[in-house]
Structure 1
Amino acid sequence: MTKKRFLPRLSSNLLLLIIPAILIAITAISLVTFNYSRNIIIDSLDEQMELQLSSTVNQIDKILIKERALAESVARSVGNMYEDFEEEDFERLLIDSTELYPETVGMGIWFAPNTYKNMAQFAPYAMVNENGKVIASKDYTEGDFDIHTSEWYIVGTEGDGGWTNSYLDTVSSIPMVTISVPMYREDSSILGTVTVDVDISAVKEMIAETELDFDAQAFVIDTAGIYLAAEDESKIMTMNFNEDSNKDLSNKITDILTSRENGYDNYTSDGKDYRLYYNYVPQTDWLMGINVPVANINASLNGLIQIFSIVAIVALLIVSMLIYLYSKKLGDTAMHSSLLANDISEGILYSNPLTEKDLNKNDELGEIARSLQSMQENLKKTITEIALHSQDVVSVGKRLTSTADDSATSANEIAIAIENIAGGATSQAIDTQSATENVENINHFVDENFEILIELLRSTNNIENTKDEGFEVLKELIELINLTTLINGQVNAAIEETYQKSKEIEEASRMVESISEQTNLLALNASIEAARAGEAGKGFAVVAQQIKKLAEQSKGFNEVIKKVIKELKETSTNSVEVMSETKLMLDQQGKIVEDTMSKFDNIAEAIVKNKEVVEKLQKSSNNIKDKNEELVGVVQNLSAIAEENSATTEEVAAIAQEQFRSSAEVSEASGNLSKIAVNLQEQVENFKLEKFEKE
């Protein structure tokens, strides 16, 4: 009978397994989405801020560029025509130029000392008065203010000029900056400067009108660090950024001013993160920055996170409901299969809680149900057959035990007899092995003797080869001695001929010496005659003097020739003696070589005899080796037969022992088999094949 018991529902298990996984996936997706969205917003912010910075900086720079161009245009006009201008012309030029742009609040022409009509200070100036009208002023020309020491004059006379620091006009309280450019004469000498005063209130207005997201704040700082524009208007033209209460921002601006590069950077102040974008105005190197709180960037993502969370929760509820409904549908079949498996495990084989609906399903659970039912039927058949045959196994086990005991007794007697035979075979194998080793030692000695004979024959052949090489060397030596003797004779003849030639040269040298003495005497007589001739003989005296020098040089050369001839004769004499001695040595060498040839012939005969003896010994050794190898083969065959007999006997003994052990094991196994068969009968009785059996 099937016992019902409580089992956890499949739907509950699936929900407990899947819901945490879905929650983890939703959390991971939320984090990835948050970071991705944040990166997109930051990238968009970077592009927006860089574009806003670039646009505003370009607007500021455009104003400054046109004001500089105005100053340079007036400077060129004045430089070309100042000598033709009267004071009224300068004033008219300045008024017309000042009216061109709304940011222009004043212009001045500042001549160098004594350059215009020898005036120490001439500075026509035009400005916008409180009524917005441009008027001319002579205050700087007639006043006591020294324009040549002013900042704008010094800046304008250096290189291409430049911009002054920003300042607050004392009369109008308007923030200004002045561009000052040089004026040149036609010869490129400095004439003075032209200045344009620019109202930079427009910078403050541009910053105020700039629309920035995330509560960002923009500011502009001049090269001296003064705020030209800021969210807090009280800082404008009155505070240096180093005096700002936000020291973290001040330090970051200091780092930026040191690097002199455009870009953005992050910093932290009072535990809050900020992103600072910055760019420089090319004309004046003013720094424009936009400060964005990072917390405001993240706050813009809160709405997105809330929407995503709501969608995720709704999706989670829908998925959970679908999982519950599907798992409930699967749970009934799983429960029926579990009950059947539990009955089988308890030995109840007659009950079957599975329904037709369970068995007809085409999914995995249906397959499990059908498999369990098939396993139940097969198990019933198997248990029935085991019960029928277990009694036969008990009877056969008893008979097998009796037969195994008899076989063990016989095997033990056979093993004892074989051990005695194996002892004799082992002794014979040992003696045969000893004989084999002795024969192998003899064979080893024969091999060594054969190797020695081969080496001796090889040495004999080497000696014979060396003898042949010696014969060739002696032949070459004889040829060289004969050639040397021939050359020695030729050299001796050449030396004799040289000696004769040196005698002829010596005779010629005596003639040259005689001629030189006569020439010298003639030169002396010529000198005496030239002296007698007086003035007319001066030219002849010079010739006589040159002849005398030539004679002396000839005498000197002749002495050198005589010395060389003497040395040549001595060398020739020595060479003749050396050649004579060389000829005697060559003759002696020839005799020695002939004696050596005779000894080599004797050595050759001895080598031939030695070679014949070695070849005979080698043949004899070969015969001994062949006979010994035949003997080794016979002994080795005998040893192998003895070892094989011994091994076969040991194998037979081992087989007999193994048979004895096997018989004992069979006897023991048959006894165990009988016990197992009895135990199996008891276990089969635990299975209930019919419903009427006792539970």
Structure 2
Amino acid sequence: MKNIFKSKSIKANMTLSFVLIILISNILLFVFNNQLLKKYFSLQVNDSIEVIIKQAADIIEEDIKSTESQVDALSKTWAFTKNLDKNQIADFYENSAKSMGFIEFAYIDTKGNGLNLNKEGAKWDATQREYFKRSLNGELYTSEILVDLVTNQKMIVVSTPYYENGKIEGVFIGIKDANFISELCKNFNWGDSGILSVYDKNSKIVGHTRSEIVEKELNLVEEAAKDSSYKEVANFWQNEVLQKQSGVGEYFFTGENKLAAFYNLENRGYSVLVSINKSEIFAPLVTLSKWLSFAAILIIIICALIVYFLIASSVANAFNNIKKDLEKIADYNLIAEPSKNYSDRRDEIGDIYRSSIMLKENLTNIVNNIKESTELLENSSNLLQEKCDLANSVANDISNSVDDIARGATSQAEDTQTGVIQLQNMTDLLSKNKTNLQQLNSASDRTETLKNEGVDTMNELLESTQKNKDISKDIKEAMDKTKNSVDDIKSAGEMIKSIAEQTNLLALNAAIEAARAGEAGKGFAVVAEEIRKLAENSSSFTEQINNSVAELLSRADYAVDKINESSTVVEEQSMNVNEVEKKFDGIAESINSLRVSLKEIISSNEEIDKAQGSLYTIMENASALSEENAASTQEVAASTQTQMNSFEEISNESIQLKNLAEELKDIIDKFNV
């Protein structure tokens, strides 16, 4: 990402930044809108497909009822036609079957003897047929798909009881081709992939938009056991269709995600199922998304061009002009005029321009001041060099005088030789003095050791005090965090209150709208879902409150622990103070020993003074002269050497200062002011 903005053109960087901001904003907006559209489109599709499946189920129900009504109405003609001759009966019912879309009609007496009402007039036994049993009990019944044992033709039988004098005297049936319900399904038209199918309670297909599937006698559950591609369909059948009156769901079949709805005709044992490819349903939404993406890209390109040619160009030109002015300053040209005057602008460009002008003016003043100072510095360095040469000459004269004084001191050495013999007598006293000094030194060492130990102890005391201070700080931080946790509890409580209010409002709205809409109130499942989400949010914020309370307790425990630790540190401080007291007691004992040694040293010094009395007369003249000469010689020699070294350093520094002044002058001369 960093490499994207490494362009040398600020105009390109501004345009690219603007395009990226707009692009990211559009992408986020597009994703959000797409998800929102998809959600509400799905809700609308679910509502629509529920209406479609209900309408399809109603149509199938009405058509079956119409067929049953035809058979029931025709059964009432049997009372008039049964006394006709065989050919008349056959002609009447064959014509009726042809006009009404039946294969044939038949009559079954109460003993189960069946008679086909056609020219063949075949007779057969119907005692074991389900439709015979049901209609003999007074039920108007439509059978499942049956197979003719003679012709192997698949058929559906519609049976109705035949009444005579208010009593069931037989059963009248109409036989329809098995594709009867499939023909109803074929009338269903929904897009390119929409399919309407009907299954019985045993998962066996009864009708389908593609009638050849009915011919195969497909059973969803049995087929799923043999073919895994039917597994999701079978699961949908068992988990949804068999468990509910109606509903909407999804499953994967034949390489497509299917959107399906079902409605159970419970009084007939039929389940009506409509399905369509989900990709076909959402195709308009995908197309709309593509067009929106295209429009967004086009808008971004137009905006980028506007930014590039209008806004970015203006800013880039201003920065380029200021850049040229700064390059002139970098080339030591401080008298060149600005490329363009931006002092009237009140934006960042105007600020940068005014700052560059101020920089130029300040730099000009600095150069002029340095130039004047350089000239003064050059003159001062020349004068300093002359003074240093003169001082060196004086120092040489003083050095010669010091040599003469040294020769005088040599002549005095002979007089001091006599004093050496007398000083020999002082050796024993000095030895004793040395012993006493050693004892003093030992005592001093011990005093020093004890003093160091006392210092260490005091340092430990200081560290303990610091720990106590840190612990107090930790306690304060813990209590501050406890306060923050209490604030969190307050915020969470307010949020729970807000969520509760919204939940009550949504519940009230859902109840009002459901009551007002009646059967269509099922569409308010969305409101119920929102209520559930708000309830979950309430649970979440309750958990947050619990966490905050737990943290509050934890911080309180932490504060208690720190207070206990502070108490421990205070106890350590007390022990350290006691230890310091003992150490300083030891120091006092050492001082007493030191005093005893000092008394002995004083006594020895008194004896040395007595011995020095006999030397006083001999060494008086020599000592006075030697001390005077030695002191003078040392002072003069030291002063002379110091002066000579100083003059030499000053001389070197003055040369360097002169060279620096020349270099500075050369640099200043580069500026055009």
TM range (shorter): 0.3 to 0.5
- RCO higher in structure (CA 8 A, sep ≥6): 1
TM-score normalised by structure 1 residue count:
0.44
Is the radius of gyration larger for structure 1 or structure 2?
1
TM-score normalised by structure 2 residue count:
0.46
